[in-house]
Chain A
Amino acid sequence: MADVPIDIDHVSRLARLALTKEEATRFSAQFSRLFEFIAELQSLDVNEISATAQVIPLKNVMREDVAQACLPRDVALENAPAREGPYFKTPRILDGES
């Protein structure tokens, strides 16, 4: 069994994902075997190799900066869990006076 280096509490906070203790324990055990595979990657010498982030023969794709048709506001708001007038409504974001 490979050691699992992940601090799951820390990472799940970064990911804004509230995990239960049971999930954190189970995931950690399940990651163990995957890290056996991942450890094999450390054996390759890749110092001289460039990274591949994408595989297609494209560089920056540009277009003229002109306004185009987009979703009407009312349509964009149709799936909102909560709305107020033309806005998405969420719980409080900033501390302080409301």
Chain B
Amino acid sequence: MITGHELKTAIAQGRLSAVEAASQALARAQSLEPQLRAYIRFTPERALAQARRIDDLVRAGEDAGALAGIPIAVKDIFCVEGEITTAGSRILENFRSPYSSTVVRKLEEAGAVIIGKTNMDEFAMGSSCENSAFFPTRNPWDPTRVPGGSSGGSASTVGAWSVPIALGTDTGGSIREPASFCNIVGVKPTYGRVSRYGMIAFASSLDQAGPMTADVRDAAITLGVIAGHDPLDSTSVDIPVPDYAAALRSDLQGMRVGIVHEFEEQIASLDPQLAELYRKAYQALEQLGARLVEVHLPHARYGLATYYLIAPAECSSNLARYDGARYGVRADPGGDVYEMFERTRAAGFGDEVKRRIVLGTYALSAGYYDAYYVRAQKIRTLIKRDFDQAFAGCDVIAGPAVSCPAFELGAKSQDPVAMYLMDYFTIPMSLAGLPALSVPAGYIGGLPVGLQIVAPAFEEHVMLGAAHAYEQTTRHAWAATPPVAQTAASTS
């Protein structure tokens, strides 16, 4: 595994050109596509133009940026000027972005080289990448299994060691669950930390962009690039962005780590083997100097139901814009404009998106708004208060990111609620708007799982500091090579 910061150093020292790095990443990612299908589209011309620009800057002795020459992949939910952006949906299969999202602009200004747009569950609704309108993506640890979702393509390509850094989005777990399944680091920042401008909206009070990376240092550097206030997103918060790389720690002396009583009961009842793996992870934190304290999140068990009222309600509102009038695919049966709307949406959206639009429209409709939507928002308050109380007694919370390792394709695709339950441990943090990450924590039957670390709002530096100490001591991400990476190495 080569990390982004190692590649950047090699490029800055002239041991490798950015064009070579981009070409190698493209060749490797493309050679793995028959097995993984992680990409909706490659962007080789954009990549090589940017790489040449970086090489010129390096040759001229200029600072080419914090991510200079590092090949990256971007979830196909982010607008990239001039490129097709589909959000994994038929309804946008011909949509060419007229501008770049703020995070993509910042990444390219920092010298990152975008090699392609990654596959995802349609409009980020899903936990397996099987809801992509185009094709499912597969897991580099076992291609008969899912990579997780919705940022499944980004997780798969980083997990296969094709690129060290990718961009994902997380609404209820869509960065953390696939990161866990693919043995990479996935960071969901605090809501408001990163601009959502140019990122296709699913649930606007929950959506947040974040890095999915080979190691914690790459995540810290990438978050430092994309974080910060953006006048184009009024929900991005204008508070200083710390130097995340400088906050990385090698021990946890003096840190209080909260272990959630309710989560430990839940994981022990679901999978004792996984519960044991997480207990070992907590012991590793303790050996690094942390003090473990028990904390309680009594309302976290209501997170799933709360989320599945709030997120679909917001989705039904956000996705009203896809009507065939101004962009995207239009189905026009020859009647009036309303018939065009109904047919366009029927033809353009897949099952999961339709389900959530129906559920969300219902939760917002006259007579049901108070009983469902407002009640869910009140329970959201209770969940947030639980975290406030928990953080009165600890600096970070550590716990499960997932309730199982990656499952086989098709195993849950006919049962939406079984799929929704995949986000049991990640949804409460999303509802509370908190920063949370998944860091590799070991293997169950040869399949990786991640440890979740959560911090109070805007304290990503504390969370990343803890994750770095854990990662550098345990080195789970380096302990084994994903099987597809072995294939790639022997053929290249």
CA of A55 to CA of B433, assembled, Å: 6
Cα distance A16–B347 when bound, in Å?
12
Choose one: B94, B235, B378, B420; the contact of A58 (CB below 8 Å).
Answer: B235
Contact at A41–B379, with CB atoms within 8 Å?
A: yes
Chain B residue nearest in CB terms to A30: B416
A93 within 8 A of B: yes
- Measured in the bound complex, the distance between the Cα atoms of B325 and A12 in whole Å is 19
- Is B63's CB within 8 Å of the partner chain A? no
Interface pair B96/A79, CB less than 8 Å apart: yes
The 8 Å CB contact of B357, one of A15, A34, A53, A81, is A15
How would residues 297 to 321 of chain B score, 1 for a CB under 8 Å from any chain A CB and 0 otherwise?
Answer: 0010010111011000000100010
Q: Closest residue of chain A to B327, judged by CB?
A: A79
- Rounded to whole Å, the gap between the CB of B83 and the closest CB of chain A is 13
Contact B342 A17 (CB under 8 A): yes
Q: Out of B98, B191, B316, B420, which one reaches A79, CB within 8 Å?
A: B98
Residues of A within 8 A of B190 (CB): 56
**How many interface residues does A have (CB within 8 Å)?**
50
The answer to whether B381 touches A27, judged by C-beta atoms less than 8 angstroms apart, is no
For the complex, give the distance between the alpha carbons of A44 and B375 in Å.
9
Complex: A91 Cα to B342 Cα, angstroms: 13
Q: Whole-angstrom distance from the CB of B421 to the nearest CB of chain A?
A: 9
CB contacts between A and B, total, < 8 Å = 169
> What separation, in Å, do the CA atoms of A8 and B355 have in the docked complex?
10
Report how far A11 CA is from B355 CA in the complex, Å: 11
A41 to B378, CA, bound (A): 10
Q: Tell me the A7-53 residues at the B interface (CB within 8 Å).
A: 8, 11-12, 14-20, 23, 27, 30-31, 33-34, 37-38, 40-42, 44, 46, 49-53
B337 proximal to A (CB < 8 A): yes
Q: Is the CB of B417 within 8 A of A34?
A: yes
Check A46 against B96 for contact (C-beta < 8 Å). Answer: no
Asked if B192 is an interface residue, CB under 8 A from chain A, the answer is: yes
Q: For residue A57, which residue of chain B has the nearest CB? A: B237
**Chain A neighbourhood of B337, CB < 8 A:** 90-93
Question: Which residues from A are CB-within-8-Å of B368?
Answer: 5
**A36 → B minimal CB distance (Å):** 8
Q: Are A44 and B355 in contact (CB under 8 A)?
A: no
What is the interface residue range for chain B against chain A?
35 or more
Return the CB mask of B416-435 against A: 1 if under 8 Å, else 0: 11001000000000011100
- With a cutoff of 8 Å between Cβ atoms, the chain B residues found around residue A34 in the complex are 305, 308, 359, 416-417, 420
- Chain B interface, >50% SS class: helix
Chain A residues within an 8 Å CB radius of B415: 30, 33
Q: Does B254 contact A (CB under 8 A)?
A: no
Q: Which residue of A lies closest to B432 (CB)?
A: A55
**Interchain nearest-CB distance for A71 vs B (Å):** 6
B window 320-353: CB within 8 A of A: 320, 323-330, 332, 334-343, 345-346, 349, 351
Assuming A12-B358, A14-B365, A17-B345, is B338 touching A79 (CB within 8 A)? no
Residues of B contacting A31 in the complex (Cβ-Cβ under 8 angstroms): 355, 359
Assess the B345–A27 pair: CB atoms within 8 A: no
Q: In the complex, are the beta carbons of B231 and A11 less than 8 A apart?
A: no
> Knowing that A5-B368, A49-B382, A81-B328 are A-B contacts, what are 13 other residue pairs whose CB atoms are under 8 Å apart, sorted by A's residue number?
A6-B362, A14-B365, A16-B320, A17-B357, A17-B358, A19-B346, A27-B358, A38-B309, A79-B98, A81-B326, A90-B340, A91-B336, A93-B336
Pull 17 A–B residue pairs with CB atoms less than 8 Å apart, ordered by A.
Answer: A15-B361, A17-B354, A30-B416, A31-B359, A37-B304, A40-B302, A44-B379, A52-B378, A52-B380, A53-B377, A55-B433, A56-B191, A58-B192, A61-B235, A78-B98, A91-B336, A91-B339
Interface residues of B (CB under 8 A from A): 94-96, 98-99, 190-192, 205, 231, 234-235, 237, 299, 302, 304-306, 308-309, 316, 320, 323-330, 332, 334-343, 345-346, 349, 351, 354-355, 357-359, 361-362, 365, 368, 372, 374-382, 384, 415-417, 420, 431-433, 457
